[in-house]
Amino acid sequence: MQKKILWIGLAFVLASSLRGNAQIAKTDSTYKKWFIGSSFFMLGNFSKVNNPEYVQLNVGYRITAKDVVSFEFKRSIYSWPIGIPFGPSFDAPGENYPGHARILAPTLGYQRFWWKGVYTSIHALNAFEKYMDENRKKVGNGYTLYLNFHMGYQFKFFKNRFFFEPALGCSYWPVRANVPESFKLVEKKWPNYFIQPGLHFGFNF
């Protein structure tokens, strides 16, 4: 009796799975599993002032039509406390670090689509930091865990091959370790979060 119930349950699960896949195929014949992409923030590398030397590469996999996991790799430098909000203090003289920090940041992400192109996402960014003084001499290594939350909309182009995802996000860092004292003095008056846009783009395959 128990085996019979088990087989009936497995058959139901299999039928549900096949029906779900059929519905996905019916509603979106261009549905792709994988994508690669980056961020339009890389355009900041054309700046002649405070060039971030920003590099980002995204690789993602769609578990379902609505659930996406991704791996991102980011590299950049920054010379101002990351908690300074957009406004008069952002990039203002006297607010900068006594040098700069260079980060390498492997990132894991999860994205959920709710209705059409509307989505929310969370990314855990592991930033391994190297701190340099004004003479470009290394003064320490640090680590920061950033949790990035976004809400946005995905626009698709050219038969859904390409996409663009403008979003509004919040970056929050609950863990920040081994920051040199000279850098702490500058950033201590700012919060450990930052409201920022998201500008991802990519190619589905």
Neighbours of 197 (CB within 10 A): 13
CA 144 to chain centre: 14
Query: Sorting pLDDT into bands at 50, 70 and 90, what band is 9?
Result: very low
Same structural domain for residues 5 and 57?
no
DSSP 126-168: EEEEEEEETTS-EEEEEEEEEEEEEEEE-EEETTTTEEEEEEE
Same structural domain for residues 5 and 43?
no
Same structural domain for residues 52 and 84?
yes
Same structural domain for residues 21 and 99?
no
Range of 152's domain? 32-204
Same structural domain for residues 115 and 179?
yes
Domain count, the chain: 2
Residues facing residue 30 across a β-bridge: none
Same structural domain for residues 15 and 55?
no
Q: Is the pLDDT of residue 126 over 80?
A: yes
> Which pLDDT tens digit goes with each residue over 11-66?
443 344 444 444 344 444 456 799 999 999 999 899 877 788 999 999 999 999 89
> Which pLDDT tens digit goes with each residue over 79-117?
999 899 887 887 777 889 999 999 999 999 999 999 999
What is the pTM assigned to this prediction? 0.79
Q: Within 13 Å and on the Cβ side, how many CA atoms surround 88? A: 0
Q: Is 3 helix (H, G, I), strand (E, B) or coil?
A: helix
CB 122 within 8 A of CB 149: yes
Sign of the dihedral defined by the CA atoms of residues 165, 169, 175, 179, in that order: positive
Q: What is the pLDDT of residue 147?
A: 97
Mean pLDDT estimate for the chain: 86
Same structural domain for residues 11 and 74?
no
